[in-house]
């Protein structure tokens, strides 16, 4: 079995996910997860804010098939929005519809999302809808549109590996969009498979959104893309206030700080919570070099 498949299989193992919740961050996960509690996470956000970096905060959660679990996730997200407000940190929320009940009942999920969006709107905060696998894509977009029609404080994600990504970006051209390459395994009937094609489509989607003037979050660890965007923005006189770079918490931190120092808006995706195991395994699957995170901890203990 390839290393990637092994880590994906581990990330999907419910028994291991449940077992890991009982322990604090282990195996090096503390390098890529900001904390298990809201208090720890706010402290991590403050440290990033001090470096001129803003944050988008994600309450980790896997396998939500019970309404009680979705309600608990909603409560935790609302508590986080309140903690962001009370502590005055520079951060907003990223969320996944599946964690709020999409796989249980779409109407129930909508109610939960509405409650969250209302609290966020009261505090003048912003919500980003992360996009998951293709099976959830259109329902997630529909929920996002319904909520945005009421609160107008929502943005979402465009995944460049989808063949339909160009239609989706045209459809949502007035929204604040995070553009990513795409993280899930999808068939060739709906998604590009070849890395060069995905990378080329990724660049053209970024250019499209930058040129049409809506706020663009370029979420990647790929320095080729980042350098391209810097040049493109300069050539086309695109104001630095119209875009930001995003990376995941704990990855390429030197580059995060360097870009912030150069005067680019930089936003770190900050995952938190006790349900860290699946997220950590997927990061290892994505890039086997991330194994160094584990090794480093073993050797420094
Ligand atoms: P990719 O993995 O393609 O690597 C390209 C090159 O960049 C590598 O060859 C290497 O040279 C360099 N590189 C990459 N990582 C490095 C590292 N850690 N250290 C040194 N060099 C490195 N996906 C999704 O489907 N839905 C979503 O909502 C999101 N949300 C999201 C938010 C944020 C903030 C990020 C950063 C990413 C996501 N993603 C996502 C994940 C995204 O789709 C994608 O799977 C990963 O970002 C990996 O692709 P990259 O563009 O980062 O580089």
Please pick, among 58, 178, 199, 275, the residue that the annotation labels catalytic. Answer: 178
Instruction: State how many domains the chain has.
Output: 1
Residue ranges around ligand 1 (CB below 6 Å): 130-131, 157, 159, 180-184, 219-222, 246-248, 251-252, 269, 286-287
Q: What is the pLDDT of residue 266?
A: 98
Q: What DSSP element (H or E) covers 291? A: helix 291-300
Among residues 70, 60, 156, the alpha carbon closest in space to that of 116 is found at 70
> Does residue 148 belong to any structural domain of this protein?
yes
What is the CATH number for 142?
3.20.20.220
Say whether 178 is catalytic: yes
Q: How many CB atoms lie within 10 A of CB 284?
A: 24
Among residues 29, 15, 95, 19, the alpha carbon closest in space to that of 61 is found at 95
Q: What is the pLDDT along the chain (301 residues), one digit of tens a residue?
A: 577 778 778 777 777 777 777 666 666 678 889 998 999 999 999 999 999 999 999 999 878 999 999 999 999 999 999 999 999 999 999 999 999 999 999 999 999 999 999 999 999 999 999 999 999 999 999 999 999 999 989 999 999 999 999 999 999 999 999 999 998 889 999 999 999 999 999 999 999 999 999 999 999 999 999 999 999 999 999 999 999 999 999 999 999 999 999 999 999 999 999 888 888 888 888 776 776 655 444 333 2
Q: What is the pLDDT of residue 3?
A: 76
Please pick, among 58, 103, 130, 275, the residue that the annotation labels catalytic. Answer: 130
Q: What is the pLDDT of residue 298?
A: 38
Say whether 103 is catalytic: no
Q: How far is the CA of 4 from the centre of ligand 1 (A)?
A: 15
Torsion angle of C-alpha atoms 160, 161, 164, 168, degrees rounded to 10: -30
Dist. CA 63–CA 104, nearest whole Å: 11
Q: What is the pLDDT of residue 53?
A: 98
Mutate to test the pocket of ligand 1, among 128, 154, 217, 219 (most ligand atoms within 8 A of CB): 219
> Does residue 149 belong to any structural domain of this protein?
yes
> Does residue 12 belong to any structural domain of this protein?
no
Q: What is the pLDDT of residue 184?
A: 85
Let me know: does 267 contact 245? Beta carbons within 8 Å: yes
Nearest alpha carbon, ligand 1 atom 19? 252
Q: How far is the CA of 219 from the centre of ligand 1 (A)?
A: 7
Dist. CA 84–CA 76, nearest whole Å: 12
Q: What is the pLDDT of residue 9?
A: 80
- Domain hosting 160: range is 34-275
> Does residue 78 belong to any structural domain of this protein?
yes
């Amino acid at each position: 079995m390839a290393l990637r498949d092994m880590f994906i299989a581990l990330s999907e193992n419910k028994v291991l996910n449940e077992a890991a919740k009982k322990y604090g961050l282990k195996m090096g996960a503390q390098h890529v997860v900001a904390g298990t509690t809201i208090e720890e996470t706010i402290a991590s956000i403050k440290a990033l804010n001090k470096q001129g970096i803003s944050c988008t905060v994600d309450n980790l959660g896997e396998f939500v098939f019970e309404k009680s679990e979705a309600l608990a996730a909603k409560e935790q997200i609302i508590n986080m929005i309140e903690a962001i407000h009370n502590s005055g940190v520079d951060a907003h929320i990223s969320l996944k519809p599946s964690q709020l009940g999409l796989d249980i009942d779409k109407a129930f999920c909508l109610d939960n999302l509405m409650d969250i969006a209302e609290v966020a709107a009261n505090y003048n905060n912003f919500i980003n809808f992360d996009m998951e696998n293709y099976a959830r894509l259109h329902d997630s977009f529909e929920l996002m549109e319904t909520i945005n029609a009421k609160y107008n404080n929502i943005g979402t994600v465009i995944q460049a590996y989808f063949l339909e990504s160009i239609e989706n970006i045209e459809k949502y051209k007035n929204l604040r969009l995070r553009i990513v390459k795409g993280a899930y395994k999808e068939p060739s009937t709906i998604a590009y498979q070849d890395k060069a094609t995905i990378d080329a489509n990724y660049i053209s989607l970024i250019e499209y959104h930058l040129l049409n003037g809506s706020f663009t979050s370029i979420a990647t660890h790929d320095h080729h893309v980042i350098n391209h965007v810097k040049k493109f923005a300069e050539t086309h006189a695109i104001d630095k206030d119209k875009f930001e770079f995003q990376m995941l918490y704990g990855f390429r931190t030197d580059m995060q700080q360097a870009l912030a120092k150069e005067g680019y808006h930089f936003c770190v995706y900050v995952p938190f919570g006790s349900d860290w195991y699946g997220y950590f395994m997927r990061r290892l699957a994505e890039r086997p070099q991330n194994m160094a995170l584990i090794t480093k901890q073993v050797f420094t203990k």
